[in-house]
């Protein structure tokens, strides 16, 4: 059941599962302007037998309020507010799991609040905006999988600015076949129709300076025990980006999952959950 909490002036939708007093996991979803907590909560809820799993919609996303500003730093401040909230966290170091855009935020949180993160799990993400150039190259090789999408749409819309919510929705539906190695058209249509697309938050989060995020020179300051997971067919944050992250964060571990794409946590859920449990217990 979705609940709501007021953090930094925004009303955030969330779900929480797991035993009271257990270590807190905060999951950070992907999708600037169209992501929400649902798929992460589904993917990571198996961890709730031993941990408290908190998944939430960022401000301007899903069922959370459309309270501005939409910036990386504001969302990172919201994550910190959730960690400290007496109903949700216990003000102790937490575990952060972030994928794609949520992985960008997870890195920024771990850099900003190093002592507040015990473990960091990064899924299918990148350390800087430079991943976009490689994604364009991958798309050029895989255009036959998404005939309704063009390189121009990726560069100018997905990595740029949408003119309306409906344009946003249509372009992301065209891109859907690229995100999975086991694409199901009927399921993709159903997901698209139930997803909230909000061009304003997307556009703000791709505007300057948000678009040009770059953590490469600061990742050496991350003190959290870090696991980096990526599918070997990830198209939008290709595996080389995860390899780079793992090379920059001290004592981090990299796992490249065969036969998986960007949604590796859904496509290879049992394998990813086992890796996370090993990482948290070692």
DSSP string, 103-133: HHHHHHHHHH-GGGEEEEEEES--SBTTHHH
Kindly indicate the confidence band of residue 162, based on its pLDDT and cuts at 50, 70 and 90. very high
Quick one: 19 exposed, middle or buried, by C-beta within 10 A (0-12, 13-18, 19+)? exposed
Give the rounded percent of residues in the chain with a pLDDT score beyond 90.
97
Kindly indicate the confidence band of residue 90, based on its pLDDT and cuts at 50, 70 and 90. confident
C-beta atoms surrounding 207 within 10 Å:
14
- The long-range contacts involving 149-156, CB below 8 angstroms and separated by at least 24 positions, are 149/174, 149/175, 149/178
The CA-CA-CA angle for residues 135, 219, 57, to 5°, reads: 65
The pLDDT of 20-33, averaged and rounded, is: 97
The number of residues making up the chain comes to 282
Which H or E run contains 166? helix 165-175
**pTM of the predicted model over 0.95:** yes
From the list 80, 85, 76, the residue with the least C-alpha distance to 106 is 76
- Which residues, including other chains, have CB under 8 Å from residue 78's CB and lie 6 or more apart? 7, 8, 10, 12, 58, 59
pLDDT of 261 strictly over 90: yes
pLDDT of 42 strictly over 90: yes
Domains of the chain with bracketed CATH: 3-130+213-281 (3.40.50.1820), 132-205 (no CATH)
pLDDT of 33 strictly over 90: yes
pLDDT of 82 strictly over 90: yes
Q: How far apart are the C-alpha atoms of 213 and 281, rounded to whole Å?
A: 32
Query: pLDDT of 94-131, one tens digit each?
Result: 999 999 999 999 999 999 999 999 999 999 999 999 99
Give the rounded percent of residues in the chain with a pLDDT score beyond 70.
100
Query: pLDDT of 184-203, one tens digit each?
Result: 999 999 999 999 999 999 99
**Cα dihedral: 83, 113, 217, 57 (round 10):** 20
């Amino acid at each position: 059941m979705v609940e709501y909490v007021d953090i930094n002036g925004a009303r955030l939708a969330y779900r929480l599962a797991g035993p009271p007093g257990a270590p807190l996991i905060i999951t950070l979803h992907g999708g600037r302007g169209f992501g929400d907590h649902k798929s992460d909560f589904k993917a990571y809820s198996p961890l709730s037998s031993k941990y408290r799993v908190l998944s939430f919609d960022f401000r301007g996303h899903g069922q959370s309020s459309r309270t501005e500003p939409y910036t990386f730093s504001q969302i990172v401040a919201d994550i910190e507010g959730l960690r400290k909230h007496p109903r949700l966290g216990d003000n102790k170091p937490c575990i952060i799991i972030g994928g794609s855009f949520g992985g960008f935020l997870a890195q920024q949180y771990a850099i900003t609040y190093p002592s507040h993160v015990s473990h960091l799990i990064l899924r299918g993400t990148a350390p800087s905006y430079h991943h976009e150039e490689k994604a364009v190259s991958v798309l050029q090789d895989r255009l036959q999988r998404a005939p309704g999408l063009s390189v121009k749409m990726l560069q100018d819309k997905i990595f740029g600015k949408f003119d309306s919510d409906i344009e946003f929705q249509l372009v992301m539906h065209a891109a859907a076949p690229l995100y999975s190695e086991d694409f199901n058209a009927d399921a993709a249509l159903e997901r698209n129709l139930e997803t909230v697309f909000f061009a304003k938050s997307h556009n703000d989060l791709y505007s300057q300076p948000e678009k040009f995020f770059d953590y490469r020179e600061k990742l050496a300051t991350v003190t959290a025990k870090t696991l980096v997971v990526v599918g070997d067919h990830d198209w939008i944050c290709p595996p080389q980006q995860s390899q780079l992250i793992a090379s920059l964060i001290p004592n981090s571990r990299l796992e490249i999952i065969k036969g998986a794409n960007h949604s590796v946590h859904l496509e290879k859920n049992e394998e990813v959950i086992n890796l996370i449990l090993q990482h948290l217990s070692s």
